[in-house]
């Protein structure tokens, strides 16, 4: 069955993790483009401030205080969409948390809590989304990570959760395709992104946490999400750095291990003291309407790789043109040699 997605201005979007980072940028960008929104997060105060901000701009949004690690909360998000707008056209599984620390040092209860949000939150959200989308059609978009493809040390349990998310999403996509359900299932895999990710992570390293460069702007991820809401896509890596990491892990896994052990371990450790556990986003609501974090390095605002992914027609034309040029060069070279040049 062909999948047809509405124009963004005609859609209702559900966005979890809407009060911080990628979710917040996506919500504001979608509102600017005329979409109606169902915004979910754990922080009621931040949700209300965001709702007031969008209403002042003429946007329509309803808010739901919800912890995606609780199935009953996720069900309330779907009910709120039905009550406010008669349903939804796109569901974005975005909420996520992280932990820094060696796997031997991170308490098991923290690992389980992370999986409740990162993995089970996706499972609950996807199941609720599919119930509605199988009837009316639309898009299910899940924000994974470049670490869905290649694990990194010191964020081992986060990497494991994102691997699980990819496996679940890939299997769900195949099942829906086999049923010929009118649902587009997309996995977005961001590279390192300048959001409050580090500030919200629970840290067991004993030193300040950091994100390894290259680091990209959250707007790039939001644009990819909204593209997937209107164009059926299987998966998209955002940022060439993440694509290179995935490719190196596939082509040279042992060498990539060594690079990570020698370089990435140090790049994830800062010089300061770690964030106090009392402020981490694993155990407490942490969204305060901050799109970006305190990353002091250079944030890459554009990505030629992501630009090409969002415009496959241009990319095909470029590759085709390059192929024609190479073929012409080879013909001229052969002719030249054939004439005894």
The 10s digit of each residue's pLDDT in 75-101 is: 999 999 999 999 999 999 999 999 999
Across 210-238, average pLDDT:
97
Map residue 298 onto helix, strand or coil: coil
Cα–Cα distance, 297 to 279 (Å, whole number): 23
pLDDT score of 340 more than 70 = no
* Banded model confidence at residue 103, pLDDT cuts 50, 70, 90: very high
pLDDT in tens, 179-191: 999 999 999 999 9
Domains of the chain and CATH, by start: 8-310 (3.40.50.720)
Give the pLDDT of residue 55: 98
State the CB neighbour count (10 A cutoff) for residue 135: 12
Could you tell me where the DSSP H helices lie in the chain? 21-32, 44-56, 71-85, 108-115, 121-136, 156-178, 197-200, 218-230, 240-251, 253-259, 265-267, 304-310, 312-338
Q: For residue 310, how many other CB atoms are within 10 A of its CB?
A: 20
Q: In this structure, what DSSP letter does residue 340 have?
A: T
Q: What is the pLDDT at residue 329?
A: 47
Burial of 266 (0-12, 13-18, 19+ CB in 10 A): exposed
Residue 317 has pLDDT above 60, yes or no: no
pLDDT computed for residue 322 by the predictor: 44
Q: Which of 100, 124, 158, 295 is catalytic?
A: 158
The pLDDT of residue 113: 98
Question: What local confidence, expressed as pLDDT, does residue 320 receive?
Answer: 53
pLDDT digits (tens, 9 = 90+) for 152-205: 999 999 999 999 999 999 999 999 999 999 999 999 999 999 999 999 999 999
Least confident of 76-90, 91-105, 230-244, 327-341: 327-341
235: which DSSP letter?
E
Above 80 in pLDDT, residue 331?
A: no
pLDDT attached to residue 314: 57
- Is residue 144's pLDDT more than 90? yes
Asked if the peptide bond before residue 299 counts as cis, ω within 30 degrees of 0, the response is: no
pTM value?
0.90
Active site residue 158: yes
Q: For residues 27 and 18, is the Cβ–Cβ distance under 8 A?
A: yes
């Amino acid at each position: 069955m062909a999948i047809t997605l509405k124009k963004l201005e005609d859609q209702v979007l559900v966005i979890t993790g809407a009060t911080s980072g990628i979710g917040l940028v996506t919500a504001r960008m979608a509102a600017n483009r005329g979409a109606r929104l169902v915004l979910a997060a754990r922080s009621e105060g931040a949700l209300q401030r965001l709702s007031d901000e969008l209403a002042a701009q003429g946007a329509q949004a309803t808010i739901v205080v919800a912890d995606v690690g609780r199935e009953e909360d996720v069900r309330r998000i779907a009910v709120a969409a039905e009550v406010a707008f008669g349903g939804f056209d796109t569901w974005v599984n975005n909420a996520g948390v992280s932990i820094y620390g060696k796997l031997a040092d991170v308490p098991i209860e923290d690992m389980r809590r992370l999986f409740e949000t990162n993995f089970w939150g996706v499972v609950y959200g996807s199941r609720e989304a599919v119930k509605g989308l199988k009837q009316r059609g639309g898009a299910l978009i899940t924000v994974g990570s470049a670490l869905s493809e290649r694990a990194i040390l010191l964020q081992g349990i986060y990497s494991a959760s994102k691997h699980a998310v990819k496996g679940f999403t890939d299997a769900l996509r195949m099942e829906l395709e086999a049923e010929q359900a009118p649902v587009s299932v997309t996995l977005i895999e961001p590279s390192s992104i300048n959001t409050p990710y580090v500030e919200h992570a629970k840290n067991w390293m004993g030193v300040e946490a950091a994100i390894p460069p290259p680091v990209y702007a959250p707007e790039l991820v939001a644009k990819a999400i909204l593209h997937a809401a209107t164009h059926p896509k299987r998966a998209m890596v955002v940022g060439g750095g993440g694509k290179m990491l995935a490719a190196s892990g596939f082509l040279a896994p042992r060498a990539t291990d060594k690079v990570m052990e020698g370089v990435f371990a140090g790049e994830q450790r800062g010089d300061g003291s770690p964030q106090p556990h009392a402020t981490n986003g694993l155990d407490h609501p942490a969204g305060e309407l901050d799109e970006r974090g305190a990353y002091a390095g250079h944030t890459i605002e554009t990505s030629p790789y992501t630009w090409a992914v969002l415009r496959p027609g241009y990319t095909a034309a470029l590759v085709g043109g390059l192929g024609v040029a190479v073929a012409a060069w080879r013909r001229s070279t052969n002719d030249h040699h054939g004439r005894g040049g």
